[in-house]
Structure 1
Amino acid sequence: MNAGIFLLGLAYVLSQFFRVFLAVLAPVLERDVGATPDDLAFASGMWFLAFAAMQIPVGWALDTVGPRRTAGWLLLAGGCGGAAVFALATSPAHIDIAMALIGVGCSPVLMASYYIFARDHPPAQFAVLASLMVGLGSVGNLVASYPMALAEETIGWRASLWALGGVSACVAFGTLVLVKDPIRIIGETKGSLAELFRLRALWFIFPLIGVSYAISIAVRGLWIGPYLAGVFGADTATIGRATLIMGLAMIAGTLAYGPLDKALRSRKWMIAGGSFAALIAAVVLIIIPSQSAGLSIAMMCAIGFFGATYPVIMAHGRSFLPPHLIGRGVTMLNLFSIGGVGLLQFLSGNVFSSAVPAATTSDPFVAVFTLFAMSLAVGLVIYLFSSDSPN
C-alpha cells in the first residue's frame, strides 16, 4: 500500500459513495425537486450506464497513457463537476445529468488500481488485493448511509454535495501527483477487443458478473430506502441505519471472499454457492415482503454479504487474460458488471411504475425484487458451464 494506491483507494471510496447515496436522500429529493422513486432509479441508472460506457475508452487509456492520468483527470472533470451540478439541481433532469457526469468521473478509479495489481504483482495475489481494495472502497458505502443522513439533516444536501465536490478535486489532484504508472515492456504485443472476445472462457463469466453485483448494489443504492419508507413507514434516520447495516454486510462479504479464494480449491463453485445464497434471500423478500422490517433488513444484508462476489469473479476472469489484454480485459468485465446494474436500474424503475397502483404497498417492490432474482438466476445457470480457474 503505497501513497498512489492509497489515493486510488480514496477515489474508490468516493465511487462507492456516489453509486448508493440516493437511497438516503430519496425523501428529501422528492420534497425539494420532485424526484419520485422511478426518477431516482433512472438517475441511478444514468450513473451506472455512463460508468459502463466509459469502460472501453478507459481500457484503451490504461494500456496507452497509464492509470495516473486516466484516473486523475476523469475524476477531476466528472466527479467534481457532477457534484456541482447536483448541488445546483432544481429538477429530476438535473440530477440525471449530475449522476451521468459523476459516473464518468468514477469510471477509471477501481480499474486503475486493478491494472497496477495485474501488472506489478503475481496473478495469485490478484483476488486478495482486489478484495482489499473493494473492502477499502466500501467505506464509501458506509458514509453514504447514516452519516449522509446526518449531514443532510445538519447542513443540508446541497452543502453536502458542494463539500463532496471539493473532496473529489483534492483526491484527483493527489492521484495526478502520487500514482506511479507500471513500467511498460518494450515491444509488447498490442491487444484488441476482437482478440479479447475470442477468449471463450469469458463468455460464461460475462452474464453472471453482469447481474451478480446488480442485485446487491441496486437494493443498497436505491430500493432499500423507498421500500422501507413505503412498506414500513421508515424515516430518513431509520433508512440511514438500515443502509449502514447492509453496507457493513457487504464489506464483510467482500473481505470474506478474498481469504476464501486462497483457502478453497474451486473458485467457480465458491462464487456459485455465494450467488445461490443471495438468490435464496431475494426469494424470501418476494414471498414475505411485509412481515417485519427486521426480517426484510436481514434478508437484504444476506444479499449484500453473499452477493459480494465481484472481486473473485473479476479474479476468475483475469485468470484467462494474457498480459497485453489486461487493461481491456478487466475493464470489459467491469463494463458488464456496471452496465448490468445500469440496465437493471432502468428496468426496475419501469417495473415499479407499471405496478402502481397496486393492491398493497409491497406489490411494486415485490415486482422489482422478482426482476432482480430472475436476472441473477439466469446469470448463475449460464455461469455453471464456465471453466474453473486455479486460486
Structure 2
Amino acid sequence: MGLLSSTFFISFAIAQVPGGLALDRIGARLSIGLFMWLSVLGSLLFSVADSPSLAFVGQVFIGIGCAPVFTGTMLIVGRNYPASRFSYYIAIIIAVGSIGDLLGTAPLAILAEWLGWRSALQVVMVLSALAASCCLLGLKPDRPDGMNHSLKRMLQGMARVTTVKGLWPIIPMFLTSYAVLMAVRGLWSGPYLADVYSLSTDERGNIILAMSAALGAGTFMLGVLDRLIKRTKRLVIVSSILTLLPLIVLAMHPDKGPYFAMWVFVAVGFFGFNYPLLMAHCRSFLVPAYYGRGMAFLTALSFIGVAIVQGLSGWVMNLAYENQFTQVERYQLLFFLLAGVLMLTTTIYLFSKPRGNGSEPL
C-alpha cells in the first residue's frame, strides 16, 4: 500500500520538471488542461487494472496529469495579484478545492460499495475529463515569461533555483510538512482505525471526512491570518507546533478510543496544511520570471517528501510486524516517527530568513 500510494507522489514530483517548463513556456491554461487528460487516462487504466503493474502505470499517469494543476494555479495567482495576498488567495482556492477531498472520503466509500470500486473510479475519471475541458475552454490565454527562452536556458533556470540560499532552511519543511499530513490523512488513518478499533468502512470514512473538512477550514483560516498579521514564518512555526502536539499525544495514547483519535486527526488536519504559507515564504526569494519553475521545483520537493515518508512509514510498519509488535505498538511507533520527522524539520526552519527581497536568482 505504501509503495502503490507513493507511486503517485513520485511521478507527480518527477513531472514537475516538464510541468514547470511548460508553465513558463506555453502558459497555465494549456499546461493544466492538456496534462489533465493524462490523469483521465490513468484513472481509466487503474479502473480496469487486473494486475499490480497496470495499477502502478495508472498511478503514474494520474501523477503526471495532476502535476501542473496546483503549481499552475499558484502561477496564475502570483502573476495577477499582489504578493501580500498570495497565501490568502491560495488558501481560498484550496478551501474550495477541498470539496473534492471531502467527496473522496465517505461519499466515495458509499459510491464504491454501491457501484464497485472500478465503476466509482470511472466516475472520478469522467469528472476529471470535465475539469480538463473546463480549464482548456474557460481559462484565459496567458503570455508566459519564458516563451521566448530556449529549453536549455529554462532547464538551467530551474537548476539555479537550488542555489538560492534563502530557500535552504525552508526546503526540509517542504519535504516533510505536507508529507506528514498525507501519511496520516491519505495512508494510515484508515488502516489504523480498522486495525486498532475494527471500525467499518462507513465509520472510518466519516472520521476521515471530519479530518478533510477541518483541513479545508484550517487552510482558509491560515490564509486569512497570514493576510492580517503578515508574519508568514511565525505562522508556519505555530501551525507546525500545533500539528506536532496532537501527533505526540496520539503516539502516547494510540488506543484511547476512536473519538479521541478523530479529534486528533481533526486537529492535525486543521493546522497541518501550511503549504500555501511555505510557498508564499519561498516566493519572496524569487523573481517573477522564475515563479513557474521555482514553484514547480518546490512542489516536486514536497511530493518527493510524501513519497519518502510514506515509503519509510511502510518499511517501519513492516519491520514492526516482523518483530511481532502488537497492532497498537506498531501505530504508536508510526506516530512517534511522524512527530519526530516534523519536529526535526521545524527546528531547521527556525533558522530561515523571515522574508526574501524578490531578487533571486538573477
SS class of match (2:321): coil
Q: CA deviation at 1:223?
A: 0.6
- Normalised to the residue count of structure 2, the TM-score between the two structures is 0.92
Change in 2 beyond 3 A, CA 1:184/1:219: closer
Match of 1:350 in 2: 315
Q: Deviations over 1:134-169 (max 9, x none)?
A: 111111110011101110111111111112112212
SS class of match (2:273): coil
Q: Is the 8 A contact 2:166 2:353 kept in 1?
A: yes
1:321 aligns with 2:286: yes
- Normalised to the residue count of structure 1, the TM-score between the two structures is 0.86
Q: Is the 8 A contact 2:24 2:144 kept in 1?
A: no
Q: Distance in 2 between matches of 1:304 and 1:179?
A: 30
Q: Which of 52, 58, 67 is matched with 1:107 structurally?
A: 67
Q: Which of 234, 238, 242 is matched with 1:273 structurally?
A: 238
RMSD: 1.8
Corresponding letter in the other structure for 1:372: L
Q: Deviations over 1:200-250 (max 9, x none)?
A: 111111110211111112211111110000000011000110110000111
Match of 1:169 in 2: 129
Change in 2 beyond 3 A, CA 1:91/1:196: same
Q: Distance in 2 between matches of 1:282 and 1:380?
A: 14
How many residue pairs match? The answer is: 350
Q: Deviations over 1:299-336 (max 9, x none)?
A: 11111111111111111111111011111111111111
Which consecutive residues of structure 1, in runs of 5 or more, have no partner in the other structure? 1-39
Q: How does 1:1-391 map to 2 (within 5 A)?
A: 40-77=1-38, 79-184=39-144, 192-357=157-322, 358-389=324-355
Q: Is the 8 A contact 2:26 2:144 kept in 1?
A: no
Q: Is the 8 A contact 1:266 1:389 kept in 2?
A: no
Q: CA deviation at 1:197?
A: 2.0
Q: Is the 8 A contact 1:80 1:102 kept in 2?
A: yes
Q: Distance in 2 between matches of 1:346 and 1:81?
A: 25
Q: Is the 8 A contact 1:116 1:181 kept in 2?
A: no
Q: Is the 8 A contact 2:45 2:55 kept in 1?
A: yes
Q: Distance in 2 between matches of 1:186 and 1:52?
A: 21
Q: Distance in 2 between matches of 1:185 and 1:156?
A: 46
212-221 or 177-186, which deviates more: 177-186
Match of 2:360 in 1: none
Q: Distance in 2 between matches of 1:379 and 1:292?
A: 30
Percent of aligned positions with the same letter in both sequences? Answer: 34
SS class of match (1:356): helix
Change in 2 beyond 3 A, CA 1:74/1:194: closer
Q: Is the 8 A contact 2:29 2:142 kept in 1?
A: no
Match of 1:19 in 2: none
Which consecutive residues of structure 2, in runs of 5 or more, have no partner in the other structure? 357-362
SS class of match (1:366): helix
Q: Is the 8 A contact 2:12 2:67 kept in 1?
A: yes
Q: Distance in 2 between matches of 1:329 and 1:220?
A: 27
